[in-house]
Structure 1
Amino acid sequence: MSTLSIGWTQADAHRSLTRFRRLLAVNLALQSLVALLCVLAPSCGAWITGIEPSLARPLLPVWGGLVLLVSALQVLAWLDPVRQRFQVAIALAGRVLMALIYLCLGWQFWRFAIFDAGFALALGMLFHRALIAEIQTRT
């Protein structure tokens, strides 16, 4: 393999990985902001999510705390997604599972379902491209 094609392949892998990391950062930041809002101001979180405020009072702070914990656990996957690919796979599967759970909970949670399903699809596609590009640099 020529030096030129190796350099191009490495640059392509770097670009793919950068795209994935940027989208993951946006996803983690958005879900952390919403979760923090639900912990600190459940009534405002209820308004954002569309949940009845009387039902949201006990539910949203707990949910927000768990989402903050899960977001913090994904920081290692953001730092080095290639070496932490098992953690990335678990996070992607978790997003799909949560989208299904939100759909089963009812129409009030459609915003969460679309958010998680959309990011799971986009992150999955970008991560697949990044892994393929990374593997191609090692041949």
Structure 2
Amino acid sequence: MRFKVGDRVRVTRPEGGELSAAGALFVGQLGTVADIDNPEDAPYPYAVAFDTGSRLCFAEDELTYPEDSEAVIRFPRHEENLAASESDPVHHPSHYTSHPSGIECIQITEHMNFCLGNAMKYIWRAGLKTDDPIQDIDKAIWYLQREKERLSK
């Protein structure tokens, strides 16, 4: 095992390989190895905790030791985004900024196409904007089915 619990690591794309969709969201970010599973039992043995509060598992070839000269992508916590007040229904609605990771929904969805971004938006806010999380989930499914149909053509 190359890394140890407590090591600072940077997420990187493996040479000749692909990251998972979730892992791709963390490329360039720094985190700390929080736990290590047996690599024979787990294809992604390194549990990495990020400064944003998120945690995700990675394979050894998806991580490197950071170099001081490398630029690191960091998502600002939503508290830092809200300069004027905690509730800004136009620029930073609470149902998009209340995720425990501190990441605002748009910071993820702006890197997706329209249907996938909207599906993510409805999943993100399920039960937060309205009292009916089922309606949000149904809408997310509608956008995912529409994207699936587009890709099947």
For the criterion TM > 0.5, the same-fold answer is no
* TM-score normalised over the length of structure 2: 0.27
Structure with more of its chain in helix, by fraction: 1
What TM-score do you get using the length of structure 1 for normalisation? 0.29
Q: Which has the higher contact order (CA 8 A, sep 6+)?
A: 1
